[in-house]
Amino acid sequence: MPSQRPSAASESGEEERAFLQTRVALFWKVIFFIVLLGCALGVIGAVAKPGGDLVFTLASTANAGILWWLCRRGQRSIRFSRVVEGGGLLLNATMSAPLGRYLLAGFARDHSIVSAQAFLIADSYVTMLQVCGMALMLAIRAALIPSTPRRTILVTALYGVPTILVTTVLVPTAHGGLAWRALDSGAYPELPATLAMMWGFAIITCAVISWVIYGLRAEVREARRLGQYTLEEKIGEGGMGVVYRATHAMLRRPAAIKLLLPERAGEKNLARFEREVQLTSRLTHPHTISIFDYGRTADGVFYYVMEYVDGFDLERLVDEDGPLEPARVIRILAQASGALSEAHALGLIHRDIKPANIVLTERVDEPDIVKVVDFGLVKTLETSPGDVAVTNADAITGTPMYLAPEAIASPDSVDARSDLYALGAVGYFLLTGQHVFDAPTVVEVCSKHLVEAPMPPSQRLGRAVPPDLEALILACLAKKRENRPASAEAMRVALLACADAGNYDVAAARAWWADRGATIRARSKAKRAVAHAATMAINLRGRAGDRG
């Protein structure tokens, strides 16, 4: 049987701990209900003839139930789970070993068996049933609980010891009881040897089950590794790639990894994806997502590693909490403006500013931190012919609800002020909980962006909105670019100059996060949750072309 690789055999880490605890609990849950069924059948049979076999069955049921309960509570260590697994099995074997002898004694009593030959046949029959039940239990254990083949061999072998010993030294009597016998008496010499042979087959079967399942789990773990990172849950998917939460093997630092979707791995898309990360990696503003690394896997899958933000986007925030107070809108827009100001200074425009691409999170020292994410449609203000070919300038790119008029009429002419239009639309959404323009079709939405003046937020809400903030948002939504703020930095300055700018301070933000933030974050995670294990059909044993 092939040996497992050391990396695959590692049982460390939060994921392994939680998985082991869950599986040990599941195993004892299954055993509890199986034994409970046997106990119920025993009660039915023992109404007229109560006996010791029922006592042992009840004890086994209680044992399985207690162990299941222990593994369901709190966070148990790997060592604790292994003790519950192995110690529980040994205790179960010790209690169930005499059961076969009592069953045989009762069978002999009820059927008036007195001859040695009849005893041998009955003994073999009852013991075989008992061994089959034990083997089934150990097969369930091998299938459910992660274990190396070597450990499975050891656990299975030890589990059979009590039954073999009891079968060897206890003999049913014709009166329905049990008696000790001398090991050299020669009575029923075939039974212990036959039992040992049958249990050997059970050991081999369970070891093979563990080898196959443990090996498959090792392959999955290996497939989920990307250099020093281990992929975990999928947290998002965009037009160009899919994003997974990941953990660095040495630093234990969480990160987010974006991979180019295999079906989009054409030469043009690959060039665009690589260009995206190269441009984004130039951004260092505290309110822009940070890029840690990028490269390609051994089989050519392009990826990049970025900062993991444990929060939720503005779309989720408004969906869960409704329109925001003006002072908080100012705070959020000012941070986003700062991120755009750096990007525009470097000659980059985002082209897809929207609530879903602005994430809200918190730090230990400061809550309500904004991160602008997903520069997948980023465009340089000074493009080379190659860049134009990659970005497909003649196509409309972005999200219809947040497209500037020029992005619709002349996509190649978008500039920094197009991002400001989209940011104004985000501010409108935060204030009112509604989009600037709504219509049944994308064409109608685009038409409204081109020709229709937006309804003032105060009119949309039916209540007053600070005039300076409302005027600034409507200025961002001007059809002509020259009527919008001159730059993202100018917009940030104007936001901070609003009368309500200081009314939502750190204390207010911290109070909100304590009251609502954790709940919204948990709901957001629950709604985007997929299978915890990421499955990628790619060879990740090495990385070609890594940046280093």
Each residue's pLDDT, cut to its tens digit, for the chain (548 residues) gives 444 443 333 434 666 788 888 899 999 999 888 878 866 665 555 443 444 456 666 777 888 888 889 888 778 888 898 988 888 888 888 877 766 666 666 666 665 655 556 665 666 666 777 778 888 888 999 989 888 889 999 988 888 888 777 766 655 554 444 555 443 444 455 666 777 788 888 899 999 998 888 777 766 665 566 767 777 778 877 666 788 888 877 777 888 888 876 666 566 767 776 776 777 788 889 999 888 887 777 666 778 888 888 889 999 999 999 999 999 999 999 999 999 999 999 888 888 899 999 999 988 888 889 999 877 555 554 444 334 333 444 455 568 899 999 999 988 888 999 999 999 999 999 999 999 999 899 899 999 999 999 999 999 999 999 999 999 999 999 999 999 999 999 999 999 999 999 899 888 999 999 888 888 887 777 665 543 333 333 333 343 344 33
The pLDDT value recorded for residue 228 is 75
The pLDDT value recorded for residue 92 is 81
β-pair type (225-226, 369-372): unpaired
The pLDDT value recorded for residue 55 is 66
Neighbouring residues of 187: CB distance < 8 A, sequence distance ≥ 6: 116, 171, 181
Cβ atoms of 260 and 270 within 8 Å: the answer is yes
Token pair of 356, please? 């879903």
The pLDDT value recorded for residue 121 is 65
**Nearest alpha-carbon partner for 232 in 12, 536, 534:** 534
Strand partners of residue 293: 305
Token pair of 101, please? 């002898």
Which DSSP letter does residue 402 get? Answer: G
The residue assigned the tokens 């990028």 is: 294
DSSP string, 510-527: HHHIIIIIHHHHHHHHHH
**What is the SS3 assignment for 202?**
helix
**Nearest alpha-carbon partner for 289 in 379, 361, 390, 366:** 361
Phi first, then psi: give them for residue 281, nearest 5 degrees.
-65, -15
d(CA 80, CA 75): 10
DSSP string, 101-128: HHHHHHHHHHTT--SHHHHHHHHHHHHH
Q: How far apart are the first and last CA of the chain?
A: 38
d(CA 161, CA 35): 20
| Helix/strand/coil percent split, the chain, to 5 | 60, 10, 30
Candidates 352, 368, 374, 500; catalytic one: 352
d(CA 164, CA 93): 11
The pTM (predicted TM-score) of the whole model is: 0.60
Burial of 201 (0-12, 13-18, 19+ CB in 10 A): exposed
Neighbouring residues of 254: CB distance < 8 A, sequence distance ≥ 6: 245, 246, 247, 248, 308, 310
Which ranges of 145-264 does DSSP label H, i.e. alpha helix? 149-169, 190-223
293 is catalytic: no
Q: Which whole-number Å values give the CA distances from 423 to 18, 96, 355, 461, 496, in the listed order? A: 42, 70, 9, 19, 15
Strand partners of residue 257: 244, 305
**Nearest alpha-carbon partner for 34 in 127, 107, 126, 140:** 140
**Nearest alpha-carbon partner for 509 in 309, 322, 332, 288:** 332
d(CA 177, CA 102): 7
The pLDDT value recorded for residue 196 is 76
Q: Which whole-number Å values give the CA distances from 463 to 230, 330, 454, 456, 502, in the listed order? A: 50, 18, 16, 11, 21
d(CA 395, CA 1): 58
Phi first, then psi: give them for residue 163, nearest 5 degrees.
-65, -40
The Cβ of residue 363 has, within 10 Å, a number of other Cβ atoms equal to 8
∠ CA 230-232-238, nearest 5°, is 110
The residue assigned the tokens 């049982």 is: 11
